[in-house]
Amino acid sequence: MPAKKKISAPEDTIEEKAAPAEEAAKPAEVKKSAPKKAPAKKPAAKKEAIAEKAAEKPAKKPAEKKAASEKAAEKKPVKKTAKKKAEPQPEAEKPAEAVTAAAPAEEVKPVEIPAEEAPVEAPAAEKPVDMPLPQPRRSVAFIGSECYPFVKTGGLGDVMYALPKALIKQNCDVKVILPRYKCIPQKYQEKMVYRGAFQMDLCADGRSFYVGIMEYVWDGVVYDFIDNEDFFTSGNPYTNLVDDIPKFCFFGKAALAALNYMNWIPDIIHCHDWQAGLVPVYLRTLFANTALSSARTILTIHNLRFQGVYNIPTIKYWTNLPDYVFNKDALKQGYEDANMLKGGLAYADMISTVSNTYAGEIQTAFYGEKLDAHLRYHSGKLRGIVNGIDIEQWDTATDTRLAVNYDLANVLEGKKANKKALQEQLGLAQDDHMFVIGLISRLTDQKGLDLVNAILPALMDGHTQVVVLGTGDAKYEDSFRYYESAYKGSVCSNIMYDEGRAHQIYAGADALLVPSLFEPCGLTQLIAMRYGTVPIVRETGGLKDTVQPYNQYTNEGNGFTFDRYDANLLLDAINRAKTLYFTNRWCWDQMVQRDLTTDVSWDNSAQQYRGLYMELKP
């Protein structure tokens, strides 16, 4: 099969592409610091001056001695600084060369920064760059249908972008494989490098398709895009099942064939959602006799509601998989359907989902989406790991979309200024004392919007404002438009999605509402905390794992929660938040500060994922 054709391993490619970038940067740094060696001549001059002064010392009075010592004290720091800056720079280069292939340029920064601090601390600061990297090194191939900033429709795109970056710091060599959609912005398309192409057998009747590989390297992560005009010419990544089923049957097999073609054999193949659900099935059947068979697979469930279910004959045709995989323990669902996600769960070596609570919930009939029994059977290999967010992208101190930037030192003043700007921009009554509730969400049943509809009139007490941002089901879009008309100056419904407006709501709102029916992980509550906005959530999935309910007796917690899916309980949670806000602002402000400093980064999650990889490949 053409897939067996081999070219140079991508590790070499990464070195060749990443190294010049670092080497080009390094000489510039060395040259900048090189002139600082000029002062090295000064010590000799200084020594002569000191010697002369020493000779004069016996003749000098105490007052003159004091003046001399003050001058010496002034010169001493200059002497130490010159010595210091000249010495650490060459040492900083050595770790950089060693890390070139393993960790990209950003990991070199911690070496350079301490070099300009105190000389005594510099050597100790260099060690964490080399020492903390866990061993052994692991190679991981991510396979999924979307990734920020190339294409993103939801939380999966954020995870496919942020988790690989965080794994680099865990000593992982990461390659991300994606479809090359037509909708990927041209600025990325034109920077892609052609890596090769081949024909791949796909269908049961022997029909084959072109597979092209276009590569883009960014932030130490290698992105390989599967190119094919037959499947990826649509303006959107997802259209309808009739088109999407063949598209992702092709993509799963093409991703493995591309790894084979490039002779890049990862330790772990990390698949995401139903669009990559057939990858573990292909690997253990059609690729069982290839070098890839040594890899272990993890399939991550981001949202169990979407599974890739279609009739068996269609999926049989588009995959040419053997008949034995279409049984009730693998792909078969019901009497005549095949479920791509179900097959992947059966054949994957490990299953993960995006929070520990959700991992338990999906094994019940209510949350299991007809796969609860299947998941209970495979529960021994099921793990839950909460997502993080990219704290560089979501940073109140540098966010250019905010009216006023702020951090822990001025968060209270910063929130107030951003609230005023938000009220002015959205036509709300401008009042510092208003309690502003934000709602940033897809407008669907999953997000608990029927509860919000039921209680919104009760919130309109003259002291509360509600800001909605999102699109979705027509019934919710229309109801929020009605509320904006009925409560002018108190409700603003932005029936759209605007990234800039989202940032402004996170910064300007006092609280963020996430009353979901179910929520595998949820990112909005994490972003809200990062912006000092208090989350009000239902205790489900990742919302329960990340938001600790406020305790008025101990003044602990980082949000307000309710358990059962009930409108009155949601209203009660909001009223508890408002009571604290209006009657005990000191405690509210402390919670805002706690939320701002909560660690919502990917670092801890990446460590846990590395733990899974090591469990599979010790």
**Residue-wise pLDDT tens digits, 278-318:** 999 999 999 999 999 999 999 999 999 999 999 999 999 99
Chain-wide mean pLDDT for the chain? 84
Instruction: Answer with the residue of higher pLDDT: 237 or 75.
Output: 237
Question: Is residue 359 within 8 Å of 383, Cβ to Cβ?
Answer: yes
If pLDDT is split at 50, 70 and 90, which confidence band does 35 have?
Answer: very low
Which residue(s) pair with 538 in the sheet?
Answer: 562
Read off the tokens for 62. Answer: 């105490």
184: nearest Cα among 220, 247, 235: 235
Q: How many CA atoms lie within 13 A of 344 on its CB side?
A: 30
Least confident of 34-43, 334-343, 404-413, 526-535: 34-43
Least confident of 111-120, 205-214, 320-329, 410-419: 111-120
> Distance of CA 532 to CAs 75, 122, 527, Å?
46, 34, 9
pLDDT the model gives residue 57:
41
Q: How many CA atoms lie within 13 A of 65 on its CB side?
A: 8
- The count of other CB atoms within 10 Å of the CB of residue 398 is 11
Distance between CA atoms of 382 and 345, rounded to whole angstroms? Answer: 9
Question: Is residue 531 within 8 Å of 402, Cβ to Cβ?
Answer: no
Distance between CA atoms of 304 and 364, rounded to whole angstroms? Answer: 12
Question: Is residue 26 within 8 Å of 94, Cβ to Cβ?
Answer: no
If pLDDT is split at 50, 70 and 90, which confidence band does 233 have?
Answer: confident
DSSP 167: H
If pLDDT is split at 50, 70 and 90, which confidence band does 90 have?
Answer: very low
Q: What length is written for the chain?
A: 618
**pLDDT tens figures, 537-561:** 999 999 999 999 999 999 999 999 9
Question: Is residue 164 within 8 Å of 174, Cβ to Cβ?
Answer: yes
Q: Is the pLDDT of residue 2 over 60?
A: no
* Range among 49-58, 119-128, 585-594 rated most confident: 585-594
Contacts of 533 (CB under 8 A, 6+ apart): 415, 438, 506, 507, 509, 510, 511, 512, 592, 595
Least confident of 7-11, 271-275, 471-475: 7-11
Instruction: Answer with the residue of higher pLDDT: 80 or 237.
Output: 237
If pLDDT is split at 50, 70 and 90, which confidence band does 132 have?
Answer: low
Residues 35-57, mean pLDDT to the nearest whole number: 41
Q: Is the pLDDT of residue 9 over 60?
A: no
- 461 phi, psi to nearest 5 deg: -110, 10
Question: Is residue 357 within 8 Å of 542, Cβ to Cβ?
Answer: yes
pLDDT the model gives residue 67:
44
**Can you give the pTM of this predicted structure?**
0.77
pLDDT the model gives residue 450:
96
**pLDDT tens figures, 450-498:** 999 999 999 999 999 999 999 999 999 999 999 999 999 999 999 998 9
Q: Which runs of consecutive H residues, i.e. helices, occur in 196-327? A: 241-262, 279-284, 312-319
Distance between CA atoms of 409 and 427, rounded to whole angstroms? Answer: 29
